[in-house]
Amino acid sequence: MEAPRSRATRPIARNDLVLVPFPFTDLSTTKRRPTVVVWADPRQVDFTLAFISSQQIGSIGVGEVALLPTHPEFSLTGLSVPSKICAAKLVTLSRVLLRRWLGRLGPLLIADLDRALIAALSINTVPVGEEGRRDERGRLTALYRGGGATALLADLGLPVDTER
């Protein structure tokens, strides 16, 4: 890998776009590429980054996000050409390899990136949601059995009418 010339000195956060030497998949070399931070180490030592490409942007596949100049948040990214985030191409790099902060994703693009990561990594979000609902239903049922409607209202922080 090439030696760092100028390090990013500002705090780096999830959804920031940074310029890095991104490794080829065979690790034979690197190429300076824009990337988006998908995880930032709280100590600011390591960062997991998703690849951004300006090639084949007319073909957006599963796990990819279009970054087009016509998008209302494009100017926030710091990119100068239409591009796409490839959420399946991830790498974790040390901060010393970050060359420059480019910009950030806005809330609409963040939501698109989150969906792309779920699709690219085949993350099944249904069981987590269903398990949570099942657990909460069980908790509320036990609460009701133990104290009736009064206990449920108190759990919600609502005033309890005790005069009835």
Token pair for residue 102? 């480019």
Whether 90 and 140 map to the same domain: the answer is: no
Confirm whether 163 is domain-assigned. no
Whether 131 and 75 map to the same domain: the answer is: no
Domain region containing 144: 124-157
pLDDT of 5: 43
Confirm whether 7 is domain-assigned. no
pLDDT of 164: 53
Contact 77, 103 (CB under 8 A): yes
Whether 152 and 78 map to the same domain: the answer is: no
pLDDT tens digits along 92-146: 999 999 999 999 999 999 999 999 999 999 887 766 666 677 788 888 888 889 8
Whether 74 and 44 map to the same domain: the answer is: yes
CB neighbour class for 83 (10 Å; exposed up to 12, middle 13-18, buried from 19) = buried
pLDDT tens digits along 27-67: 999 999 999 999 999 999 999 999 999 998 888 999 999 99
**What is the DSSP secondary structure assignment for residue 71, as one 8-state letter?**
S
Residues whose CB falls within 8 Å of the CB of residue 157, separated by 6 or more in sequence, listed in order: none
Q: How large is the C-alpha radius of gyration of the chain?
A: 23
pLDDT of 6: 45
